[in-house]
Structures are given as C-alpha cells and as structure tokens.
Structure 1
C-alpha cells in the first residue's frame, strides 16, 4: 500500500472518529448530581468530548454547587486528554487563580506543566522517532518552569516525584539543544558565539550529559580564535572530567564532534525523511524552527562582533538559497 493510500485511510479514520465524538445536546432538566454522574461515565469511557460538555454544563448551571470545584479540576483533565492543550492550560490557570488554597490545587499545577510538556510533541512526533533535542525549546522551557513551581510550592505533593523526573529530562533536552546551537555557530564561523554557548552550557547545565560537549565547544572555539591559553584550560577540564568524550583521541583533542544523530527509524528510512518535512505542519517542523532560531541568534552574535576581529568568511555575503530543483537533484546539476 502506498503512502498516499495510508494517508487517505488515516484521514478517513480521523474524520469518522471526529463525527462519532460530536457532543450531544444535554437535557436542561438534568440535576447537578446527574450531570456529574454523566461526566464520570464519559470520562471512564474515554469519551472526553462529551465529558467536557457535561462538565461545562455543570459549571455554568450550578456555579456554587457542591460539585463545581471538582468539575473545574476534572475539566482540566478532560481538555488535556482530548488534546485541547490551550483550553487545558487556561482552565488550570483559572483554577489556580480562583482556588489557591484548594487541597488539590497541586493537581492543577501538575496538569499545567503537562500541557506544555505535551505541546512539544505533535501528531507525528508521538509515533515517529524524531530527535526532540533539535526542536524549538520554547514549550520545554515553559514545562520546566511550571513543574518547578509545583515542586517548590508543594514539595510533598504526590505529583512532585514525577514532576522532578520530567524536569531532569527537560533539563537534559535543553542542554542538548544548546549544544546543537553551538555546533551550528562553529559551522558558520561565529566562534565567539560558539564559545559563549559552550560556557553557558557548562555554567547552567551542570550534571547533564551535555557539559562535556560544552567544554569541547569552548576548546574548538578558542583554538579557532587563536586564544591558546583559554583553549588549554578548557581542554584540561575536559580531559580531567570527561576522558571518554568523543572529541578526545588518546587523551588529545582532535576536533569538536557534533552531538550524535538519532538512528533513523524504519518509517523515515522508507520515506527518505519526507514525513519530517512534508507531512508535519509548519508549527511542528523541527528543522524549520531550529534553523530559523539559530539563524537569528547567529546574525545577532555576528552583528555584535567588532569589524576588526571578524573572519573573512563572516565578511562575505550570505550564500543564496538553493532552489527546489537543486535540492531534489542533490546539487548535481548546479
């Protein structure tokens, strides 16, 4: 079966699922208890769209009832499970603002962090082995900060252990992303920016696997800037703390090694990576977002350099963009 047929089958299945989840008109005569029981049945059956309708009706019809606050909490969960992440985050913010002393407010903090944690993973990222360290880190930063609020405010919460583990993962992801940015600076000849990015990793992401990469960035950048003393200091730290780093061969620094690429999955191998670019919506395209952000950061760093220390490569005009024909033919006919 071809990719087109697979896409058609998936689209028809999605449309069928959406049509089957249409919200039913709720009886106006339903009492508060009946609405709450109906919402629970829908939640138990994973009918989150219908559960949302029941919970919203309960909250609007009985705003001061005994189930009102519980309905607001469960509405956050229903939005989250229905992948209405913006609505889930807004509902969580509203609950925290209205009920800061509620005994279960820590749950609202936790779900707010989960909405940002999930936002960074689009439809295809959930099923395909894409490298998350090359994605735009905005949602990861938001999620880390939101989990940090939960842990600092409610260290004994039942959700705190899971939040701490996710914070470790997010911190490693953010550090790895900065490593990719630093390597991009090296390739563009922005050595000062690469050194600064490496120093930032070392100073702000201690105890992450990327610290060795940050030191390697500093060594490579300082050497290309002919700052041998600073390069040797960074190299000594790298040799002492990370003797097995890929940039070291028999203890000697050979060259900076770009962070390892993920292994291509069978889907990407069969489609030559087209799913990453063609099928992914623009807001989820990891390469476009990363390249755009790094290009902006690179240009800002380049403009900040004094003219007398810019390399000849940095003084040249930017290379023209390649045409679609050039990309399709791998530049063979340029």
Structure 2
C-alpha cells in the first residue's frame, strides 16, 4: 500500500538531502555570525593592563616599594611588597618584604591586614631573627587602635568601650619583653605596657563612674573593686577607691564606707578628691 516508484523515491531522497544541506548551511552561517560577533566584542573589550613590574628584578621591586613608602604612598608600597613576596618566595628578601608590607599596612590604617600579615610571618618563620620586631610591630598596631578607644571620650557610652585592642597589644608587648628582654624594642614595649595597664584601669573606673552617676551603686561598686583587684598601683585606683567609698555611703553601708576611707587616707593622704564631699551636693565627676 505504501510503495513508491524508484523515480519518486530518488526524487524524495534528493529533496530531503537538499533540505538537510540547507539546514546545515543555515546552522553554519549562524555559527560564523556568532563567532564574528564574539571577535568584534573581544576586539572592543579593554585589554588587560600590562604588569609594569613584569621585567623588574626583585631588588628593583624592593627599592621601588621603599621609595613609595618613603613618599607616604603606603598602599602602593604594600602592593609592591606583596608582589615581591611572591616573586622572591623562599628567600630572606621575601621575609623582609612581609615585614615591610605589614608596616605599610599599619601606616595605611589597615590594622586588620597588618595583624594578619604579622601573624602569618610569625607562623611561617618562628626562628627568624626579626621575631622581636614582628612582635613589637604587632603590639604597635593594636596599641594605636587602642588609642582610638581611650584617646577620645566622646558621645560613646563609657560602659560600652571595647578593651580587646588594648589587651591584644599588651600580650604582644609582654611576649616581646619576656622572650627578648635585651631587644632594642623591649624598653619602649615596657613603657607602653605600663600605659596600657593604666588605660585599662581607667576604663574600668570610667564605667564605675558611669554607673555611679546613674545611681546604680552596686554595679559601680563591682567595677571599682575590679579595677582595684586587677590593676595594682595604677593611678586610676585613687578614683576607684573614691567611687567605692561614695557608693557605700549612698547605700548606707557606713562601716564599709569608713573602711574604704581609711584605706584611701593611708594610700592617698594628699588625694585630689575632697574628703568632705560626702556631705555636699556638688557633682565631683564634673571636674573631668
């Protein structure tokens, strides 16, 4: 029933082949058009910038980075030191580049990046002769961040101040002075440790005063006692004792108030805080 003559079959086959070739040619044409468009787009795209340091020797990169650093271009210097670290991997110059990069990041106000770079250096080179410098620089990075916390007493609630930067700085300086007591950086680190202890004590006293001025006397007592117990001989302890005495008085704890006053009179006979202010209404905290 479904038979074709030979001629008709050949004609059908020729037609089918012609249609198939047409489709193939159409697809090829579309492919060529797509390739052509891709070539045009590629031609219009901005070429990748050439690395200007591609032909530089490691020593030249280092010198250029130091020049940028001397000119105060710390971000450019950091980028060059980073490039040098990769080019000179496994050499003393790469270690030096790491340290210089950390310093450039520190000067560029990038404490997180500087800390990460120094942490990596100390992990990779634990026996380096520059370990004392790395610890000192790590302490400096956190120390300056700490100055931002303690250096301004603006609108921020004193009870919300973070002491992490100060404590991190102290730990770096303590490791330096313990492991390398004769290092050229140890004397300065010890002075900064003293400052940090005083700052931390003062921070606790600030919080105690904050609670006292708001009538939260139990919290004020707790903070003042914390400052006294944790930070021996810090200058801020005079005020801590005074807040403690005033808070006991406000709560009617006469015996504890008198005991605290005796301690204060013994340790601070020439205290700047007036002994008779317990019976006055003048706000002693407004002196600051």
Select the structure with the greater relative contact order (CA < 8 A; seq sep ≥ 6). 1
> In the TM superposition, what is the alpha-carbon distance from 1:254 to its structure 2 partner?
4.6
Q: Report which stretch shifted further, 145-154 or 210-219.
A: 145-154
Q: Which residue of 2 aligns with 1:53?
A: 79
The gaps in structure 1 that reach 5 residues or longer are 1-23, 262-334
Counterpart check, 1:201 vs 2:227: yes
Q: CA RMSD in A?
A: 2.6
Cα deviation digits, residues 306-332 of structure 1 (max 9, x gap) = xxxxxxxxxxxxxxxxxxxxxxxxxxx
Cα deviation digits, residues 35-69 of structure 1 (max 9, x gap) = 22222222233322222122111111221234111
Q: Which residue of 1 aligns with 2:113?
A: 87
Q: Scaled by the length of structure 2, what TM-score is found?
A: 0.73
Which has more helix, going by share of residues?
Answer: 2
Give the number of aligned pairs: 233
Asked if structure 2 preserves the Cα contact closer than 8 Å seen for 1:26 and 1:54, the reply is: no
1:130 to 148, 152, 164: 152
1:37 to 44, 63, 66: 63
Counterpart check, 1:246 vs 2:268: no
Equivalent position SS for 1:173: helix
Cα deviation digits, residues 250-298 of structure 1 (max 9, x gap) = 7x8556832742xxxxxxxxxxxxxxxxxxxxxxxxxxxxxxxxxxxxx
Q: Which residue of 1 aligns with 2:252?
A: 226
Equivalent position SS for 1:258: helix
Q: Which residue of 2 aligns with 1:180?
A: 206
Q: Which residue of 2 aligns with 1:103?
A: 129
Q: Report which stretch shifted further, 142-151 or 88-97.
A: 142-151
Alpha-carbon separation, structure 1, partners of 2:187 and 2:64: 32
Q: Which residue of 1 aligns with 2:21?
A: none
Larger Rg: 2
Alpha-carbon separation, structure 1, partners of 2:286 and 2:143: 23
Q: Scaled by the length of structure 1, what TM-score is found?
A: 0.63
Q: Which residue of 2 aligns with 1:319?
A: none
